[in-house]
Structure 1
Amino acid sequence: MNTTTLPRLPGVYFLSPTQPATLALPRLDVAAFVGFAQRGPLHTPVAVEDVDTYRAVFGGDVLLARDDEAVVASARTVRAHLPAAVAAFFKNGGRRCFVVRVAGETASTARLRVPGLVGIDNAGEPRLGWLHAGSPGTWAEQLRLASRLRLTAMPANAFALQDDGSLLWKTGSAPQAIQTGDLLRLAFADGQQWLFPVTGQLASADPETATTVTLFATLAYAVQTELAAPGSHEVTAVARLTLDGTETLAASGDLSSDSSGLVLQLSGGDAGLVQSGDVLRLTLAGGEGVLFPVTGVQSLGEIGSPPDALVELRAASLLALPGQVLPAAGLPALIQIDRLRFDQLLWLDKQRLPAVEEVAFNGGHPRYWGEVALAESSLLRSTRANGDGTEAAEIARLYRELQSERRSEPGQATGIPTERSGDLTAQALAGLLAPVDEALASLTWLPVGMLAIISDADAVGVAVEEQGADGLESFASRLFVDTTLVPNPAIQPRSGSGLEADAFTRYYVQNRRLHGVHSLLFLPEVSIIAVPDAIHRPWTDEVAPPDLPPPEPPTEPKDWADFQCCPVPDDQPGGVEEQVADDSAATGLPLLVSTASYDSQQLLDIQHALVNICQARHDLVTVLALPGHFEKRQCIEWQEALRQRLGLPRQRSVFTEVSDFVDLSYVAVYHPWLMVADDAVTGDAPVLRVVPPDGAICGVIAARERQRQVWVAPANVPLQGVLDLTPQFSLDDWADLFADQFNLIRREPRDFRAMSAHTLSEERQLLQLSVRRLMILLRKVALERGMVWTFENNDERLRDGVRSTLEALLRFMFERGAFAGRTPQQAFRVVTDGSVNSRQSIDQGRFIAQVQVAPSEPMEFITVLLSRASDGVLVVAEA
């Protein structure tokens, strides 16, 4: 086919210049933070890209202890540092990080009752419906849940009761109106009511009746709004339904009915324990069993000797037990059919969340309440789960997988993200309610006392005996490590030489997940790690006494001086006054040990584990912080203790014998702590929060890489949101600690900055953190490119191709300042010839590419000479 090129018309044209091709380098700006969180999964790395996502998954602050030596009043209540570290990371330019929540073995998950819901097992034994909170912790005490019954009237003339107790249904144009798992309420002409759980459906095979479906129920349950026989009925046994079954009550009584409903007069030692909202299982004198949902309780005094409580209980209806096949032969005409579903209304503290609407009672339904609860209580979901139930079921499956001890790839969605729903794994992690336990999924669930019209007062919270635990009763280094890999944190190998092999066996061979900081071992995306909560002072079992009220000020003597006061305008700005946060929730917290009694061994345990992880991976650096009370002497003592723990001699000592080489170029330490405004507290005056600097520094490192790459030192960058520092260091202290390779944050005229980015390595070439990260980048690039060359023929063509490819990459980096030297020849060299690839090496299937580079280093000192010439002119010259 002939094509014609149209001539360009006269005029002015703007052509975009051709952009030079750029090489994509691996990212090294992804950080990981390990610490204490309010909620969220334990020991599971979760990818977070903003503060809102963190709060959706991990919640807010965690109150840990009280500190009587706090530098500011608002810091007396000690909180977990993890939330503040993540917020500082994003505030200072970070874009993506992983968060790992850790806690002790005592961490447990609360159980929350689903009001008005009763499950009946195959043996006819009832129990209350309940759900676990989405994650362990005391945070679930803020949850409240209510159930609202929804009735949808169905055309009664579309149904016909069959002799075997099944229902013949002419679906018409709504074949999906009733599905397996739905619950029907059948009303008959004589006033009888039956609950009909649909356990199966069978479509007609006759083409002429293609819209006819047979509905089956294994058992049906009679609902009584009045007693079949007049008068009172003796109750011989009473049991109260619990989340685990029933508990017998020492009580008996009489059951009757009046114009207001059903009445139970109950007496006995346990009669006074019954409360409104309870569901009782009554055994009548004839042996019949019924469920009695208590809607009202009235004390009638005492009866008998010794006296027992006498109470009057009320209910709107009874549910007869056990269930039975619907007795079609003895029933009159069917006059009304309602499809029953219900809504779950959820509150988190004072916030009412979107309702989980129109959930079905039993399994097999696309909107089964036990599956949908997780998906639609997720704080990362804004849409309703799809109608076929696949999303809710997949999210529930992902949740159960992530809660198990089986290995799951961290940070990656095992479900398929969709354009409509996003990352299903993230939604599973942010759910406030867990899916129903699999052991309860086979029960038949029925509404017993569930109301169609409710108020906020009908919502129920977590019972005291069902509350969860944070697992933070005491502080220990074991909270942060995998105790299978590190059974005794105080005794660890001096290097990470064997750690990777042991972790590989447990993770990939035994298929078990890793805990604590070790959960990041096989997450190559992470290149920076910090543990903000490692630097807490331990807390004791002693509970802090409540704060005493402030003493009344002494009466001031009368001032007889007569001075005229100058009026001050109301809008005159004043100084910054610290507002003290409301610590009403901090009562009952344990006390921190005093700074004089502090022992850094727990801190050294955690930091030793971090050093070993970095050495095992070779592509990870750790940013360490120190306890907030550390001054110059304690900092130097800590450094010597760390070196001793790692088997290294005192700093700048001459040594020749080291059994396992410990490379401290993967470690950088920053101090002092930062005073920032607490974003969680609103008010006219700021509430100061004292936080370690590791979160902000990780954000600076990540931002500097994205802006100028890893070979530019992440120093001399303003820290965002910092108001002050604690403790204060003099210029002489700074000089001494700088010489010992501490990175001190300093107050500059306009802001606060870290004026160095040094590692703890004594090897001069690896002093700069930017040099170590440049070496990590080159290693990652070599591994990525090397995978392409695997199984290639080891010949001259391969050697030339590898050399030219690596030289192009290094030239690209050289042009952007990664290496020292005036020319590429001075900056780097790639050798692949016979000097490194001997015939013997080639015959063994090996190929070696030797890469030599001269890393660029930051200019830290500029000496300027000021001199005056003979004519009086001031001359400025660089020395």
Structure 2
Amino acid sequence: MATRLPGLYFQSITPPSADILPRMDIAAFVGLAASGPLHIPVLVEDPAEFRDIFGDDLMLAFDTTRDEPLRTHLGAAVEAFFYNGGRRCWVVRVAETPTTNIYPVPGLVAADTHLPIRLAARSGGAWSDDLRTGAVLSPFTMPLAALTLAGGQTTLVLTTAPHTIQPFDLLELRAPASDGSTLVGFCFAEQIDRNAATQTVESGAAAWFRYGTWPTAHSTFGTPTSATWHHPDGERTIWDGTGAAVLDIADEELLFTCPLPPDSIPDRLHLIRLNGTGATLLAVVEDVSIDRAAHTLTLVATHLFWPLDENDALALTANWGVSVQPLVSRLRFHLHAWRHDGIIGMIEQLGFHPNHPRYWGHLPTDDALFAWPTGEPTSRTATPLDDDARMPRFPFAGLAPHTPALPLGMARAPTAADTLPRLVSPSEPDSLTRNGLATLDATLFFDPDMAIHTTTRLLAEAEQRFYLQPPPPSRPFAPLLGLHSLLPISEATLIAVPDAVQPGWEHHTIPAPTVPPAPERPTLTPLETPGFYRLDWPASAEASGYIVEESDTPTFERITHRAHLAGDSPTMERYLAPDCPVRRFYRVRMLSENDTSPWSRTLVADVPSKPFVACTPPTMPETTPRLVWPTPADGTYRIEWDSIPNAEAYELQEADEPLFLTPSILLDADATEMTLPRRPAQTLFYRVRARRGTTVGLWSATLVVPADDTSQWRARPPSSEGLLAVQRALLRFCAARGDLFAALSLPRGTRAQEALTYTARLQSPTDTATFGVAPIGFDETATLSFGTLVHPWLWQQRDTDTHLHPPDGVALGVLAETALRDGAWRSPANRPWRTVVALEPTFSRAEWGLLYPAAVNLVHRDARGFLTLSNETLFPGDDLRAIHVRRLLSLIRKITLREGEEYVFEPNTPGFRRRVQHRFEQLLSHLHRRGAFRGTQAADAYRVITDGRINTRQSVEAGRFIIELRVAPAAATAVIIVRLVQHDRRTTITEEV
């Protein structure tokens, strides 16, 4: 079972509707999200469930014109839908193929290779970067009645209750061996014979290990010959036998010291393999110590497992059942998901074998868990873990290949220290790329193969793809892409694509800040006037000034003179008393605008120049550091320096600024090199000096390790081409379905004239195609009645903050609440919009007069709050211009399809036709009483025709059945005809004004 963290969880359960009419309040949203399945509709019934599956809003790129980041709009739209009266919606995440994070599981290794078992994040994207895996062993000890070990078979008779052991549970046998060591065997319960008191378990050959240490363990191992560690991608060498290595085994742990390996180094909780002349040893790393000066690696490891073949193991079990009774435990484990120092999810009682009903590898990905069944052989069969992982959504999923596993060194209690992070590639791309959003264009939101079709062809082509063609291997659970993936979600009648207004972005490289070069070492020249000297150095064109320091110590602890020289003149005169010879130290740094260079190399000057200077402490010469990068492997660099005669040690300092005001001492030892981890985001400075006793040398020239150039995704200027393609495809999909209605929005900041130009292009049949999507054609005019354009953007209250988003989420919420409260045939205008606190931009009354005839529904603020005063679709005529007229016709279509499904196999007789007529008259009468039609009498409001005027003898003999509904919507001036035709078990519905 799945164990949830302490606290209360509220699950919204929508009660079944008692209305005889189909629901018209269910919405669908298509957009960008941090997590969740790709191109697969997911049912969501409250904002918390959305966030659990699809995560927080993403930061996409940076808008340099507004000096703020771009964020996704999908989450805000879904939340606004619920806050404004919506109760149920479907959500589709779209992206290119994102990168899925992979995680090792501590203490879980493959039974055959002992390589670490890996898990995947439940969905691709950078949302899971900070997750860590943890595993806790869950043993259940059972009395052993009998044990047989022979011929590669293990048979156990256990005194335990029925069903305590499930097929392919992992069993552990543990007892002292005949030589004093502890023997551990692992086997899987392949066959179980149950009765009231005992369970007889048969298994194949067990995997045997000595465990821990015993008096002769060190001699049993012998001399080390090689060492490797088990990386999730394969076995990697720690020590190949070259050079000296030291191994100490005692007190249930080992201490292994070897030359520092040239490649990657194991970390804590990794499994290492030590090969000796007498045995092989597996152990879990507990501590890693690197001595750069001695160039050695020291590993402390615990949980010592000594693999044994079956014959050696059976020889050590001679006293089992005689003087020693083995301890038998059923082993399962709990898998934890950690974020920072807390557990955010847990699945309990997982099995180790692929045939176990709760095998860890069966944890579902989002794509598999939420896949819409297509009937194809690739469709996934549900597992017992699905419900446990569904709510709250467990963040990890199984990863092929599915192989039996063993718990070598698995923790017995959950602690943050016993967790492992994701595997990170040295060349890992940025988070936007790993989210599958490096490229944003219109084709992300729809299926390009479907968007090329006109309204009349689209539905047939989409059904052919979804129901009759196998999905491509690259996306076995998503036969259709983007908004077209909503084809089978027949209950959805409202739709929006809130992220279609995103402007897109492009990648910009930002050069790393440059550091002015240090001046050359200055020189001191005596002038003709006694006691006067000139200090000068080579000029630099970058200099705006110089700082010169003089000291009587090589460390510059006491500054005897400091000068700030303005301009680019590289010279300074200095008076020094000529009577007493002294030693002086000089250094110079360059000023360049708002930056400074490192100090120059130090000048040592004896003034006046004499062979001997009394009472001057000795100094040591400077050394020269060099940067060797990258070496020895990606992610590190090495600093080397020349040795100085008679030096006892070298001090290496690091700083993040060129003056070493707060340096870090990295090394103070007799070494002439050091390898350091690369930190590409930061410019670092290094200097080194020699030391002998209390005598210190001059600081070397400063070595600069520059930061890498950084990059930034920046928003492109707004363009209507992609938005036109998405909204054309969306309108066609709604019209092809016949029961979907779209809320459309415009880009942020769109002014009146821009809105008029865009709306004209969207409605024009002669406009150009964009992204392969043709304009709405002359014969598709009715398609424009399936959408409404709402503007401007809304500042919405979310918790304690306000955020700016397009209005389509609120618009669908108001439509849903209107349908629930009053009916889909009621106008959504003049109904207050919740969570809205301001509009951007605002429009004058004169602009209102321009936009209203163009079918742009402007959000308005008055004493009632924020609302729309208009109720317009994009249809250019009057008959289908009102939103609630289109919604009423969609409702009638849904009623007709629902009822028509019951008539497919009925004989087309006069009695049958009369029953159908009576049924539809009942339904339309119900709508009439609730105000859907105009007129006080039924004859003025609707008519149902099924008689011989349309069902002629020839038509009936051809297997065709026709129903004609003539309705007069309350808000329309014309009578609209809805015609249902059934032929060859296929139902077709048409509209006619």
3-state DSSP of counterpart to 1:196: strand
Structure-1 separation of matches of 2:944 and 2:821 = 28
Aligned to 1:541: 507
Contact 1:415–1:425 (8 Å) recurs in 2: no
Deviation per CA, 1:244-271: give whole Å up to 9, x if none.
Answer: 3323346443433134621211214337
Pick aligned residue for 1:631 from 751, 757, 764:
751
Q: Which one of the candidate residues 447, 451, 455 is aligned to 2:407?
A: 447
CA distance in 1, matches of 2:789, 2:490: 22
- 3-state SS, counterpart of residue 295 of structure 1: strand
User: What is the alpha-carbon distance in structure 2 between the residues aligned to residue 546 and residue 38 of structure 1?
Assistant: 29
1:79 aligns with 2:59: no
1:319 aligns with 2:441: no
- Report the equivalent of 1:695: 809
1: CA distance between counterparts of 2:759 and 2:449?
28
Counterpart Cα distance in 2 of 1:723 and 1:360: 52
Which of 44, 59, 62 is the matching residue for 1:63?
59
Residues 112 and 462 in structure 1, CA contact (< 8 A), matched pair in contact too: yes
Alignment of 1:845-860 (within 5 A): 845-857=959-971
Give me the whole-angstrom Cα distance separating, in 2, the residues matched to 1:425 and 1:171: 30
| Residue 171 (str. 1) matches residue 123 (str. 2) | no
Deviations along 1:843-862, one digit per CA (max 9) or x if unpaired, are: 32323332211111199xxx
Distance 1:785 1:848 in 2: 13
Is the 1:225–1:262 Cα contact (8 Å) retained in structure 2? no
**Where do 1:478-877 residues align within 5 Å?**
478-486=443-451, 492-493=452-453, 495-512=454-471, 513-542=479-508, 590-593=712-715, 597-644=717-764, 658=778, 661=781, 663-679=783-799, 686-857=800-971
The letter for the 2-side match of 1:218 is A
**2:254 and 2:300 in contact (8 A); partners too:** yes
2:80 & 2:823 partners in 1: Cα distance?
21
1:92 aligns with 2:84: yes
Instruction: Give, in whole Å, the separation in 2 of the partners of 1:759 and 1:151.
Output: 65
**Corresponding residue SS for 1:670:** strand
Query: How far has the Cα of 1:702 moved from its partner?
Result: 0.7
Between the aligned partners of 1:405 and 1:702, the Cα distance in structure 2 is 24
Letter in 2 for 1:245: G
Please point out which of 184, 192, 198 is paired with 1:195: 184
Residue 242 (structure 1) aligned with residue 231 (structure 2)? yes
What is aligned with 2:103?
A: 112
CA contact (8 A) 1:223 1:317 kept: no
Which structure's relative contact order is higher, taking Cα pairs within 8 Å and 6+ residues apart? 1
For residues 118 and 719 of structure 1, the distance between their equivalents in structure 2, rounded to whole angstroms, comes to 56
- Separation (CA, whole Å) in 1 of partners of 2:201 and 2:723: 68
Superposed, which structure 2 residues align to 1:373-384 within 5 Å?
A: 374=363
2:374 aligned residue: 407
For structure 2, which runs of at least 5 residues remain unmatched after alignment? 1-16, 472-478, 514-708, 770-775, 974-993
Q: Distance in 1 between matches of 2:412 and 2:873?
A: 65
The code of the aligned residue for 2:227 comes to V
Task: Structure 1 unaligned segments of length 5 or more: list them.
Answer: 1-20, 304-308, 375-395, 487-491, 548-586, 650-655, 680-685, 860-879
Larger radius of gyration between Structure 1 and Structure 2? 2
Give 1:330 shift. 3.9
State the 1:102 CA deviation: 0.8
How far, CA to CA, are the matches of 1:425 and 1:120 in structure 2? 26
Counterpart Cα distance in 1 of 2:861 and 2:907 = 59
Contact 1:250 1:270 in 2 (8 A): no
Q: What does the per-residue CA deviation read over 1:675-708, in whole Å, with 9 as the maximum and x for residues that have no partner?
A: 01233xxxxxx42200111001101001101111
SS at match of 2:396: coil
Please name the residue that 1:331 is paired with.
317
Q: Hey, what does 1:555 align to over in structure 2?
A: none
Q: How does 1:175-324 map to 2 (within 5 A)?
A: 175-179=162-166, 180-189=168-177, 190-200=179-189, 211=198, 213-226=200-213, 228-230=217-219, 233-249=222-238, 251-252=240-241, 253-259=245-251, 261-270=253-262, 273-285=265-277, 288-302=279-293, 309-321=295-307, 323-324=309-310
Distance 1:430 1:526 in 2: 24
The 1:664/1:399 distance shift into structure 2, 3 A limit, reads closer
Tell me the distance in 2 between the aligned counterparts of 1:402 and 1:23. 31
Deviation track 1:711-763 (CA, whole Å, cap 9, x = no partner) reads 11111110011110001111111121011111110111241001112100012
Q: Does the CA-based 8 Å contact 2:345-2:394 persist in structure 1?
A: no
How far 1:54 sits from its partner (Å)?
1.0
Partner of 2:846: helix, strand, or coil?
helix
TM-score normalized with structure 2 length = 0.68
Which deviates more from structure 2 when the two are superposed, residues 713-722 or residues 460-469? Answer: 460-469
Structure 1 residue identity aligned to 2:470: N
Q: State the match for 1:383 in structure 2.
A: none
Distance 1:60 1:273 in 2: 35
Q: Indicate conservation of the 8 Å contact 1:673/1:727, yes or no.
A: yes
Q: Partners in 2 of 1:462 and 1:854 — Cα distance?
A: 62
Query: Cα–Cα, structure 1 residues 484 and 283, in superposed 2: closer, same or farther, change >3 Å?
Result: farther
Q: Does structure 1 retain, via aligned residues, the 8 Å contact 2:933–2:968?
A: yes
Question: CA 1:202 to 1:714, structure 2 compared with 1: closer, same or farther past 3 Å?
Answer: closer
- The whole-number CA distance in structure 1 between the counterparts of 2:148 and 2:777 is 91
Counterpart code for 1:537 = P
The aligned residue for residue 434 of structure 1 is: 397
Alpha-carbon deviation of 1:474?
2.5
Q: Is the 8 A contact 2:64 2:715 kept in 1?
A: no
Q: What is the identity percentage for the equivalent residue pairs of Structure 1 and Structure 2?
A: 32
- Tell me by how many angstroms 1:413 deviates: 12
Aligned to 1:561: none
* Superposition deviation, residue 135 in structure 1: 1.1
Q: Which moved more, 1:496-505 or 1:640-649?
A: 640-649
Please name the residue that 1:866 is paired with.
Answer: none
Compare the two structures and name the one with the higher helix fraction.
1
- SS of 2:785's equivalent in the other structure is helix
What one-letter code is carried by the residue in structure 1 that aligns with 2:317? L
Instruction: Provide the residue aligned with 1:565 in structure 2.
Output: none
TM-score for the superposition, normalised by structure 1 = 0.76
**Superposed displacement of residue 283, structure 1:** 3.0
Contact 1:482–1:516, Cα closer than 8 Å, also in 2: yes
Residue aligning to 1:457: 417
Q: AA paired with 2:394?
A: G
Matching of residue 343 in structure 1 with residue 309 in structure 2: no
Q: Distance in 2 between matches of 1:810 and 1:792?
A: 22
Cα 1:416–1:527 change in 2 (3 A) is farther
SS in 1 for 2:136: strand
Cα RMSD between the aligned structures? 3.5
Q: What CA distance in whole angstroms lies between the structure 2 residues aligned with 1:165 and 1:188?
A: 21
- The structural deviation recorded for 1:69 is 3.4
CA pair 159-191 structure 1, distance change in 2 beyond 3 A: farther
The separation in 1 between residues aligned to 2:845 and 2:308, in whole angstroms, is 83
C-alpha distance in structure 1 between counterparts of 2:249 and 2:18, whole Å: 84
